[in-house]
Amino acid sequence: MRLAIVGAGPAGIYAADLLIKAEREFDVSIDLFDLLPAPYGLVRYGVAPDHPRIKGIIRALYEVLDRGDIRFFGNVKYGTDITLAELQEHYHAVIFATGAIKDADLNIPGIDLAGSFGAADFVNWYDAHPDFPREWDLSAKDIAVLGNGNVALDVARILAKQPEDLLTTDIPDNVYQGLLKSNATDIHVFGRRGPAQVKFSPLELREACHINNVDTIVYDEDFQYDAGSQEAIDSNNQVRVMVNTLEALRTEEPKGATKRLHLHFFASPVEIHGEDGKVVGIKLEKTKLDGKGGVFPTGEFVEYPVQAVYRAVGYFGSELPEIPFDAKYGVIKNEAGRVLDASGKQIPGVYATGWIKRGPVGLIGHTKSDAMETIACLLEDKASWWNPTKADEGAITELLTNKGVQFLGWPEWLNIDQTEKDLGAASGRERIKLVEREDFLKAAFKKD
């Protein structure tokens, strides 16, 4: 059996690993393709650099790929470097695990003003994604971050943190130099619901509350609880820990730090104000608990002067050539991982897993159970797999070479990996990320 997986993040790697283990009774040959010259997807390009424990997942993913029973093809773009028709010629089936790296829309007036940013774009900047700009406008002093999830806290924390405190991480020099020029003094995080409904994890919240030379400030009027809130506090230890952490902030006195992180609740954005095409403020509508843990609008509005707004309201998947896409939810149309056409009929040999399958919900751990569901469907569908005419392993390498694709494999990635470690060692750090594709390829194919 020859299987292609498009996307070398946790979803794709877990799917490959689980399939290898599930099909030990006969040979399974898996090729893993990625648009980027680096594997690991959102763990490398979506997790804040000061989260080494979460990035520890990379070690487990590394061990899967380093076994040698899964081939990695980096710097290969699906749709141009390799097409669906070419996949059908070379494989029995394909799983798409391309994730989600775009920002979900927030349709309010002023969202397109200069100084209004998507949080995902900012994350891609500070995580050194090679396909995103190298510069970032950090001229704003007062900043609004919209959202009550982990990405919102990541963005707020990076904006608030002292740049020198990030020098223990793998951030490249362009990001460090950019943060040194930041004018941010007050970062306001706004959530639609209350302390008992936040989507932060306890770890993210604790980190945000203890940033060097930053005062974390909450407001007494935001601490409201209804029956639904109390039920969540009583029944869920994670919710209880987060509420207790936030409640403890109410009694802390500001220490006169150089920066302030403000956590606001029950505030829904309705408009971003601008002058001369630039953000100058934000208008929010206060909300109130409905008795069941939800909220409703009150008709009461508040305004804050800010010069930048970051929307952290979720990620959104990207459409892939020749693959049916649900533009409303940002996912490939599928049922339990089986990709469906416009009429709802299964497309033989085509599957999906991860965020491009289910949407950007759940933590990295959920990706493994998600992959198990997709693989179970794939194995159940053996009778409808493709019949490749060029199924030998060398054929795909020959195809890419003939098309002039400068792809790299696992040995070349190990060269890149070592180059980043060497760059870090020269500065007393564990690693410094490469940024430019040209630098990746130079490191990949360097000669000893």
Q: Which residue has the tokens 């770890």?
A: 203
Cβ burial of 51 (10 Å; 0-12, 13-18, 19+) is: middle
Residues of the chain with pLDDT below 70 are 23-26, 362-363, 365, 448
Cβ atoms of residues 20 and 27 within 8 Å: no
Render pLDDT for 60-103 as a digit per residue (tens, 0 to 9).
Answer: 999 999 999 999 999 999 999 999 999 999 999 999 999 998 99
pLDDT at 361: 79
* DSSP 3-state of 124: helix
How far is the first Cα of the chain from the last one, in angstroms, to the nearest whole number? 36
Residues in CB range of 161: below 8 A, 6 or more apart:
50, 179, 211, 212, 214
- The confidence score (pLDDT) of residue 446 equals 84
CB 294 within 8 A of CB 228: yes
Residue 198 and residue 248: Cα distance in Å, rounded?
16
Encode pLDDT of 9-29 as tens digits: 999 999 999 998 886 655 789
Pairwise CA distance, residues 100 & 330, whole Å: 8
Query: What pTM did the predictor assign?
Result: 0.93
Q: Which of 97, 155, 101, 88 is nearest to 130 (CA)?
A: 101
Q: How high is the pLDDT of residue 134?
A: 94
